[in-house]
A and B are shown apart, each in its own frame.
Chain A
């Protein structure tokens, strides 16, 4: 790391409590990818336009390229790697829905799309078509024309239970 480090800060990443020094001048996106090796979060524009770097921060989808690493102090962060537990083969219903609807083409937008979808379903269990379109408006996709992604979000909404969503809600109220 070539950036100055902050004093140790506490945060929760994919359900695991952490206490670490973080690079002061880095974005969360860069910290995830280059320091923690969590490369599932993608870098597409670095100005918050494409949504490929979307992660959940306290249950809300954010562009990790617009969050500075030290800002995650006391926050709960979920990345795509946390959606399927390490080594696990059990996919989350949102992931299953994306596969089932063939909403995955080149796949570069997919982690961001999945995180945005989880974020939407945390707030709104039964979104209508217009709410789905609005929720995904910050996530660009160049391959699919979005149609299969809309289908995936609808299917996910039909499949999920509160159990599937509980981990992402944890410690939201604590902050």
Chain B
């Protein structure tokens, strides 16, 4: 095994409490978000959405809309100069529909007008004649031969599998074989800031778009192909992002194309801002999963075999579904040693809202299933939830379901023990079961744990760049193609640069991403930013230090090895002399030494055999355990989460404030997933459109949250750091579900755990939510 202490050293900035670099702009209202950008003479762009979840377009009549006073352009797919559809793997997402609409958020036409009101009125005047088609709304049924089809090739979007050992032998050797089905709901990212862009035709026949952009280079590729322009004519600038959570990618590609088409047609800037209703209608969601687990175990609770079948609802477009479901297939057994595994995950096309990346990326669903399952298995063999987990948990040197040997510190058992000890789990779990009898308010405690692959893994090439420019006064400008969407990347990357160069964080200015300023660094996804950009920043700083150290040594008349770069000063341990960073930078500049470097980092190689589902899927993993305590009101079914403990091995804490914040926010998001959130659809039609019915956790719903970090520095991570953003949000729901079962004795296998599910074990048959859109439209 590797020596984990080798990277241990004293840090100046890493791991300390650092003020978020963008905080002052944000508390003063000066930070400019997408909708805050305006241009003189701008037009307003509005989209005409589909009237049916699945229909043939017979005709689109834009005459009335076009003749409305103040309308400057009405465009349909016929006006697209380049490719009409896009997608990372399968290019089937339509910018504007050609002959078929496949979900309610599809766009059939777009309008630009002198005011928002005129544009909206014009959109209403567009007449579209449809022939309705049968709606596909269940991902499992979608794959049946008799199902209506969204595409001629069928409704299968992607199929991933894992084959390990001999599943039949595994079941034959088991004392107990059980089957359990779990399901999770479709949820909305609910970034508080709806989508907004401003597109301006540029001087060189190109276009500049500023807005709510998470993955600028993906979006730029799409805009270039749709507009039929070279990449270098498209400039995308990231506005300060009001949250994203994976959500401002494909939907932004589509909106950017629409705004750009209108702007190019009219030769004027075009602003497109989604209302919350429009955002909920057209932006992609987290995949609902139907998960079927068949598990064999010995009577002492040792897992022998798992056969897993999962149906993921992709909606009508491929988007990131193949990648999302790939992470699920890798992690489908949970953090346990299972000798025989057969997993099949199918992503299927339906006419529901399309689904793609959302914080967790295929793990929250899997975690809900595996962690509920472990509690159920414990009950069957007479163990407690901690015992059964520890009996099967991955440890140093274990082999995962995909045949990967874990050659690093595997701390999931440690995390479980930490949270359990902190809350006296074993005693409390037993005690609750005894004391809850005859109580109206019943108490529960529940556990969950996970392992998670860091960064993209075998999904694709993993590389990132960071530009670092020392100014002649010793201040520093840092820019990268990876973005701060609120998670604190700007601060974390600044911390790495500050540590390496020996400057203080307040001397660093981190610029928002701009496609003309820095090469493609891949997407800001997969909790990869600290790891990838952190390493790239380290490389860039090392390059700069190599250039400026000789100059410092010359000025201070000392050997290079005696130099210390710290707190904006360079000192020599030999001569006791000091040099201001600005003086050194200016001296380097006078000598013609470049003070700019571009640090690049390519992630280690991963492997994957898609036929067997075997390989070294990720270059490293993170581990976590959560514990929830709840009170369940058995009169109303209301669940109150009273305490939460979240323990994560993040390798090394780079940004302490940011790290804690990631966990708090992740837990709150997971709590919403567990108890409230659901983007309900009925036959492809959305049942809600705003936060009056889509319920997020409020200040009154969150409990006390204890965060406990474990630091096992990773050999590859910057200063040993790995990742945190997504693991923080994948484990809350199962911990809460298990706590509810501890309280009530009832197991609910579907999310969300609404009042009626908690009380009755099932949802009441209600297709319409409170004052739902459907009820409203019927009245009209």
Contact = CB atoms under 8 A, between A and B. Distances in A.
A140 B487 CA distance: 17
A158 interface: no
A147 B664 contact: yes
B664 A148 contact: yes
Chain B interface: which size bin? Answer: 35 or more
A100 B700 CA distance: 23
A2 B115 contact: yes
A158 to B, nearest CB: 17
B588 to A, nearest CB: 31
B241 interface: yes
Given A33-B35, A149-B699, 4 more contacts: A42-B192, A102-B657, A106-B244, A111-B27
Contacts of B26: 104, 107, 110
A49 B692 contact: yes
A145 B665 contact: yes
A81 B169 CA distance: 69
A74 B755 CA distance: 46
Contacts, number: 173
A18 to B, nearest CB: 19
Interface string A22-42: 000000000001000011111
A107 B658 contact: no
B183 interface: no
6 A-B pairs closest in CB distance: A40-B29, A106-B486, A107-B26, A108-B242, A145-B664, A145-B668
Nearest to B19: A99
Interface in B190-208: 190-194
B191 A142 contact: yes
Contacts of B190: 142
B674 to A, nearest CB: 14
Nearest to B280: A45
Contacts of A109: 192
A121 to B, nearest CB: 15
A43 B35 contact: yes
A105 B487 contact: yes
A174 to B, nearest CB: 26
Interface string A140-152: 1111111111100
B31 interface: yes
Given A80-B29, A144-B664, A49 B699 contact: no
Most A CB within 10 A of own CB, among B24, B35, B117, B705 = B24
Most B CB within 10 A of own CB, among A39, A46, A106, A134 = A106
B690 A49 contact: yes
A137 interface: yes
Contact of A50 (B19, B20, B25, B192): B192
27 contacts: A39-B35, A40-B28, A40-B29, A41-B29, A42-B192, A43-B35, A44-B691, A46-B276, A83-B28, A91-B24, A99-B19, A99-B20, A99-B23, A104-B20, A104-B26, A106-B191, A106-B193, A107-B22, A107-B26, A107-B240, A107-B242, A109-B192, A133-B700, A134-B699, A139-B699, A140-B696, A147-B702
Contacts of A139: 699
Given A99-B23, A143-B661, A144-B661, A105 B667 contact: no
Contacts of B573: none
A111 to B, nearest CB: 5
A50 B487 CA distance: 20
A108 B33 contact: yes
Given A2-B118, A142-B245, A81 B696 contact: no
Contact of B192 (A83, A91, A137, A141): A141
A100 B660 CA distance: 14
Chain A interface: which size bin? Answer: 35 or more
Contacts of A142: 189-192, 243, 245, 665, 669, 696
B522 to A, nearest CB: 21
Contacts of A95: 27-28
A47 B95 CA distance: 29
A111 B23 CA distance: 11
A105 B669 contact: no
Contacts of A149: 699
B40 to A, nearest CB: 13
B153 interface: no
Contacts of A100: 19
B36 interface: yes
A138 B360 CA distance: 27
Nearest to A96: B27
Contact of A106 (B241, B666, B669, B702): B241
A98 B25 CA distance: 12
B223 interface: no
Contacts of B194: 43-44
Interface string B667-700: 1110000000000000000000011100011111
A99 to B, nearest CB: 4
B699 A133 contact: yes
Interface string B240-253: 11111100000000
A68 B128 CA distance: 35
